[in-house]
Structure 1
């Protein structure tokens, strides 16, 4: 039986017709490098969770960094003297 085609009925496990190979995937020629392809890849469920967590970490780290910076002190902005009247 070498080189002979095996019919679907001869297979040990029944494979329904709805599980046939998807030939449309064979037309893809490699990784997509466009922005649309990247966005389409990023919104599929497994990648979307990772993109969301990376976005949260990025926002957290930028806000933490901005909060830890000390403002520059300008030389002319000193507090008023104690003897000055308050009105």
Structure 2
């Protein structure tokens, strides 16, 4: 008898929430979030082209 396609994610979740594996899953997710946030932080925004100086009526701080 074949397994249903929806059984695979459910089986992975059951495996991932057991104590030894849950620590590893937590660390992997932590490193992924830290790595992605570092990568996004290193991206440089594109500079706008053909923008002149601000108008004289613009407030100064």
Shorter-chain TM-score category? 0.7 to 0.9
Instruction: Give the alignment's TM-score, normalised by structure 2.
Output: 0.72
Higher helix fraction: Structure 1 or Structure 2?
A: 2
In structure 1, list runs of 5 or more residues that go unmatched. Answer: 1-32
Q: Which of the pair has more CA radius of gyration? A: 1
* 2:32 is the alignment partner of 1:58: yes
Superposition CA RMSD, Å:
2.1
Deviations 1:24-70 (CA, angstroms, capped at 9, x unpaired):
xxxxxxxxx71100000000000000000000000000000000010
CA distance in structure 1 between the partners assigned to 2:52 and 2:35 by the alignment? 32
Aligned residues: 53
Structure 2, unmatched stretches of 5+, are 1-6
Q: Which structure ranks higher in relative contact order (CA pairs < 8 Å, sequence separation ≥ 6)?
A: 2
Which TM-score applies when normalising by structure 1? Answer: 0.52
Quickly say closer, same or farther: Cα 1:78–1:49, change in 2 above 3 A.
Answer: farther
- Aligned position for 2:49: 75
